[in-house]
C-alpha cells in the first residue's frame, strides 16, 4: 500500500454535500438502512425512489431529481415492481418517471460478485445515476460471513469506492437483530460493526406498536449514525393506503415515557383518585383496581403511588385499625360536596400523614406498618433497593 501525504491547503476545501434526500442520504457516500424483515424497508425505499425520480419532497426533506439503479437480490421483480407502482399512484405522479429507474438482478446465482460491481459502476457512470440501492446486504453477498470484520470491510470498501467514483448515493438495505429482553430493538445492524463503521449514515426502521398509535400502521425512522448532518430525533412514518396507492406521511410519535408501565400506573392512580375526590380509598382497594386494569406488578403500582404522593397530587390517610392501615385521597375538592359524597371518617379516626415521613414512604413501598412518630426525612428513590 502506498500512502499519499498532503497538507490541508493542498487538498483544498471539499465541495458542499449534495443530498439525494436532505440530511439523510448524501451523494458520493454510503448509507445503510436497517430494519427487521417485513418491517417495510422495501416499500419505504420504493416511495423514496419515486420522490427522487419526480423531484418531490419526501417526509419533509428535499430530494435531488435524477436516474436510479435498484439492485434487487432479496426478491425479484414480481415483488418489488408493485411497490413502485403503488408509490406512483399514492404520490400522484406519472408512471412515466419509472423509465428512469434501472432494475438490476443477478444471473450468477443471485448474488453480487466483482464483475457485478464493475458492471454496476459502469452503468451508474453511463446513466448519471444519483442513487444506487442494494437490497439487501446479506442477499447480495451470501458468500461472506457477516460477523467476520475482514470480509465485511472488503465489501464496505468496495461500496465506498463505488459511491466516490460515480458520485451516486449508495443505499444498502440490511437487517437488524431480533429484539431481546436485555437488548432492545434499535441497537444497530446485524453482524459486524464494520457495516456501521463503513457507512457515513445508518438509519433504522422499526414498527410502532399499534396499541400506542390508535391502531394505525406507523413506523419509526431514527438515525443510528450520521457523520454528515445532525442526528436529530426519531420521526414517525404513517403508511397510508388509498385504493391501489401507497404513500408515507410524517406522524408524531408518542412520548416514550407515556408508554412506560410506571407512567401508566401513575396516570391511572391519579385519575382513579380524582374521580373520587373527597373520598379516602383504602390502599388495598386502590392497588387491586390498578393492578387489574393495567396488568402491572404491585411493585410498579407502589413506585407510582409514591411518586403521586411525593408530587403532592394525593394525601396519605392513616386509617386507625389493626396493622395501621392507610388510604389515599385526591387533593382535589369534590365537585359538589355533600354529606354523602365523602366516605372520609371524622377527624378523630383518621390522620393526614405528611409526605415527608420516612415511615410512611417505607409503608407505601414495602407494606411495613408505619411508625408515625419517626421524625426522619424520606430516603430518595436512588437509595432504596428494589
**pLDDT tens-digit map of 151-197:** 999 999 999 999 999 999 999 999 998 765 444 555 689 888 899 99
Q: Predicted confidence band at 36 (pLDDT cuts at 50, 70, 90)?
A: very high
Residue 373 lies in a domain: no
| Domain assignment present for 39 | yes
Query: Are 69 and 185 contained in the same domain?
Result: yes
Residue 272 lies in a domain: yes
Longest alpha-carbon distance in the chain = 93
Q: How many domains does the chain have?
A: 2
Distance CA 182, CA 193 (A): 19
Residue 163 lies in a domain: yes
Reported as a single tens digit per residue, the pLDDT across 81-116 is: 999 999 999 999 999 999 999 999 876 556 788 889
The three cell numbers of residue 271 are: 385519575
What's the half-sphere exposure (Cβ side, CA atoms, 13 Å) at 274?
9
The CATH number that applies at residue 45 is: 3.40.50.300
Non-local CB neighbours of 267 within 8 Å, separated by 6+ positions: none
Q: Has residue 344 got a pLDDT over 80?
A: no
* 250 and 279 inside one domain: no
The answer to whether the predicted template modeling score (pTM) of the entire model surpasses 0.75 is: no
Closest by CA position to 136, among listed 179, 168, 105, 169: 105
Q: Does 273 lie in the same domain as 242?
A: no
Domain shared by 296 and 359, yes or no? yes
Would residue 268 count as lying in a domain?
Answer: yes
Assess if residue 293 is contained within a domain: yes
Predicted pLDDT of residue 342: 42
Within-domain flag for 122: yes
> Of all helices (H) and strands (E), which one includes residue 30?
strand 30-35
306 assigned to some structural domain = yes
Which structural domain, as residue segments, surrounds residue 104?
A: 10-256
pLDDT over 50 at 380, yes or no: no
Say what the pLDDT of residue 212 is. 85
60 and 158 co-located in one domain: yes
Residue 123 has what pLDDT? 97
CB 52 within 8 A of CB 66: yes
Transcribe 317-369 into DSSP letters: EEE-STT--EEEEESSPPSS--TTT--PPPTTTEEEEPTT-HHHHHHHHH-PP
DSSP category for residue 112: -
Amino acid at each position: 500500500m502506498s500512502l499519499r501525504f498532503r497538507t490541508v491547503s493542498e487538498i483544498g476545501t471539499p465541495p458542499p454535500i449534495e443530498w439525494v434526500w436532505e440530511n439523510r442520504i448524501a451523494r458520493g457516500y454510503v448509507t445503510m438502512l436497517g430494519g427487521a424483515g417485513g418491517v417495510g424497508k422495501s416499500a419505504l425505499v420504493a416511495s423514496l425512489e419515486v420522490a427522487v425520480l419526480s423531484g418531490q419532497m419526501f417526509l419533509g426533506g428535499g430530494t435531488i431529481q435524477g436516474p436510479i439503479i435498484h439492485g434487487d437480490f432479496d426478491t425479484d421483480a414480481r415483488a418489488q415492481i408493485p411497490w413502485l407502482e403503488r408509490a406512483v399512484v399514492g404520490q400522484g405522479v406519472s408512471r412515466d418517471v419509472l423509465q428512469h429507474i434501472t432494475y438490476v438482478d443477478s444471473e450468477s446465482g443471485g448474488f453480487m460478485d466483482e464483475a457485478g460491481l464493475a458492471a454496476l459502476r459502469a452503468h451508474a457512470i453511463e446513466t448519471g445515476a444519483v442513487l444506487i440501492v442494494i437490497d439487501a446486504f446479506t442477499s447480495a453477498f451470501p458468500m461472506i460471513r457477516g460477523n467476520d470484520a475482514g470480509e465485511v470491510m472488503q465489501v464496505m470498501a468496495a461500496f465506498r469506492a463505488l459511491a466516490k467514483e460515480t458520485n451516486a448515493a449508495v443505499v444498502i438495505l440490511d437487517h437488524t437483530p431480533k429484539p431481546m429482553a436485555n437488548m432492545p430493538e434499535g441497537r444497530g445492524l446485524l453482524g459486524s460493526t464494520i457495516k456501521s463503521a463503513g457507512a457515513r449514515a445508518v438509519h433504522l426502521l422499526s414498527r410502532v406498536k399499534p396499541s400506542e398509535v390508535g391502531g394505525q400502521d406507523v413506523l419509526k425512522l431514527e438515525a443510528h449514525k450520521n457523520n454528515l448532518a445532525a442526528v436529530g430525533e426519531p420521526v414517525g412514518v404513517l403508511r397510508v393506503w388509498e385504493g391501489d396507492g401507497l404513500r408515507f406521511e410524517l406522524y408524531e410519535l408518542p412520548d416514550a415515557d407515556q408508554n412506560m408501565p410506571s407512567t401508566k400506573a401513575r396516570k391511572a392512580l391519579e385519575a382513579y383518585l380524582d374521580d373520587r375526590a373527597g373520598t379516602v380509598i383504602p390502599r388495598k382497594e386502590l392497588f387491586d383496581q390498578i393492578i387489574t386494569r393495567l396488568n402491572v406488578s404491585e411493585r410498579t403500582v407502589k413506585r407510582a403511588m409514591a411518586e403521586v404522593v411525593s408530587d403532592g397530587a394525593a394525601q396519605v390517610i392513616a386509617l386507625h385499625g389493626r396493622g395501621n392501615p392507610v388510604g389515599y385521597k385526591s387533593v382535589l375538592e369534590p365537585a359538589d360536596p355533600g354529606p354523602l359524597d365523602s366516605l372520609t371518617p371524622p377527624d378523630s379516626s383518621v390522620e393526614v400523614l405528611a409526605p415527608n415521613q420516612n415511615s410512611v414512604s417505607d409503608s407505601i413501598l414495602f407494606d411495613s406498618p408505619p411508625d408515625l412518630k419517626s421524625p426522619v426525612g424520606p430516603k430518595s428513590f436512588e437509595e432504596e433497593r428494589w
